């Protein structure tokens, strides 16, 4: 009894939601969507986080809750708790869900990495089938293949490529389509915003998939950036992908600042958020923009890029930073 009282008290943590200026992001960019990555623990525990999430965003992406290492940590033992909680929340708040991600070199369970080729192929097919099928009709967009290209413009070398060859990409798309013929299926890439070796390779891969009748419906540009900003060729790059007949989207936008940051850094960050919104708005094939977290309280940057932080729209207390109104402006035009 005492324990459940303590647990209930402990569950209400985090800052309160504050009133945010202007119209909600989700209204500003409608009918296109504005999404965010969602931290499963914050969703579970923080009422202020949930309030801002529901009010501002029309799409959600699980930051980690659908990754293979999370949904099947040991073989055949599946845990959908985080994924289910997010999909339920999204339905309640009229949000679309971007499923993320079925095939990626990182965050795989260790039992998968050691499988011989034939078993690996079967396990991947089963993972895709069960995951997509579980949310059929509730997830409209799936990041099927994530970060498959290397920075120098080749295929990324990892155990899936080594064991199955480059055909794992087409197989993954076909298996996902079989599990939900109505979902739009995405290839998602990091650091491919500018025209250059990496995006050229991505372009060739997508062009080939489309020509082969593989059901790739969209190309996601993560757009993890910093004070270097949005590359000048991003708009032109989006245009050439759109000309292949696929949709495009900004899928993981954030703008990391070096710590300690200055007011000038925050103003520059605001401009970069504005530009990102504008690039999507001006490209008709761009279906939406997703930020990779909306509060500095929950951002992957400090842990993953030591010495950097403050990458999101709201500070750790859910107060708006200059980036918030600038992003609104970029989306609205
Ligand atoms: C990141 C999460 O934000 C972190 O919490 C986790 O520790 C590592 O993965 N590209 C992607 C995302 O496609 O899935 C990654 O998310 C960030 C880079």
Distance between CA atoms of 218 and 140, rounded to whole angstroms?
12
Nearest-CA residue for ligand 1 atom 14 is 63
- Which pLDDT band holds residue 252 (cuts at 50, 70, 90)? very high
Distance between CA atoms of 189 and 183, rounded to whole angstroms?
19
| pTM attached to this predicted model | 0.97
What pLDDT is recorded for position 256? 98
- Which pLDDT band holds residue 12 (cuts at 50, 70, 90)? confident
Distance (angstroms) between ligand 1 centre and the Cα of 292 equals 9
The active-site residue out of 147, 189, 193, 274 is: 147
What pLDDT is recorded for position 268? 98
Which residues are within 8 A (CB) of 44 and not within 5 positions of it... i.e. 6 or more apart?
11, 85
Is 147 among the residues known to form the active site? yes
Ligand 1 residue neighbourhood (C-beta within 6 Å):
63-64, 101, 146, 190, 222, 252, 300
Distance (angstroms) between ligand 1 centre and the Cα of 304 equals 9
Distances (CA, A) of 176 to 130, 140, 316: 10, 12, 37
Distances (CA, A) of 312 to 253, 308, 317: 9, 12, 12
- Which pLDDT band holds residue 270 (cuts at 50, 70, 90)? very high
Mean pLDDT, to the nearest integer, of 199-212? 98
Tens digits of residue pLDDT in 117-176: 999 999 999 999 999 999 999 999 999 999 999 999 999 999 999 999 999 999 999 999
Distance between CA atoms of 326 and 300, rounded to whole angstroms?
22
For ligand 1, mutation pick of 37, 39, 63, 293 (most atoms within 8 Å of CB)? 63
Distance (angstroms) between ligand 1 centre and the Cα of 199 equals 20
């Amino acid at each position: 009894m005492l324990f459940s009282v303590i647990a209930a008290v402990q569950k209400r943590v985090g800052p309160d939601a504050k009133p945010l200026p202007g119209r909600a992001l989700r209204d500003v960019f409608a009918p296109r969507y504005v999404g965010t990555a969602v931290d499963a623990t914050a969703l579970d525990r923080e009422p202020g986080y949930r309030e801002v999430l529901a009010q501002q965003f029309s799409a959600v992406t699980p930051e980690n809750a659908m990754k293979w290492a999370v949904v099947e940590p040991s073989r055949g033992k599946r845990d959908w708790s985080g994924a289910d909680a997010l999909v339920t929340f999204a339905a309640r708040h009229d949000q679309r869900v971007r499923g993320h991600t079925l095939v990626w070199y990182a965050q795989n369970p260790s039992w998968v990495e050691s499988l011989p080729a034939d078993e690996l192929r079967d396990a991947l097919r089963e993972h895709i089938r069960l995951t997509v099928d579980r949310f059929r009709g509730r997830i409209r967009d799936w990041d099927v293949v994530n970060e498959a290209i290397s920075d120098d413009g080749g295929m990324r070398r990892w155990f899936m490529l080594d064991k199955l060859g480059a055909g794992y990409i087409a197989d993954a798309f076909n298996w996902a389509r079989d599990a939900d013929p109505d979902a739009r299926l995405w290839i998602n890439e990091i650091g491919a915003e500018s025209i250059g070796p990496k995006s050229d390779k991505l372009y060739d891969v997508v062009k080939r998939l489309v020509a082969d009748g593989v059901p790739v419906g969209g190309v996601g540009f993560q757009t993890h950036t910093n004070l270097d900003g949005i590359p000048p060729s991003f708009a032109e790059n989006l245009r050439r992908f759109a000309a292949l007949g696929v949709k495009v989207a900004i899928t993981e936008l954030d703008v990391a600042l070096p710590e300690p940051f200055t007011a000038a850094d925050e103003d520059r960050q605001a401009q970069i958020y504005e530009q990102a919104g504008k690039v999507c708005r001006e490209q008709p094939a761009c279906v939406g923009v997703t930020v990779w977290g909306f509060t500095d309280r929950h951002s992957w940057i400090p842990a993953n890029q030591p010495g950097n932080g403050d990458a999101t729209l709201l500070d750790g207390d859910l107060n708006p930073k200059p980036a918030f109104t600038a992003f609104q402006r970029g989306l609205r035009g």
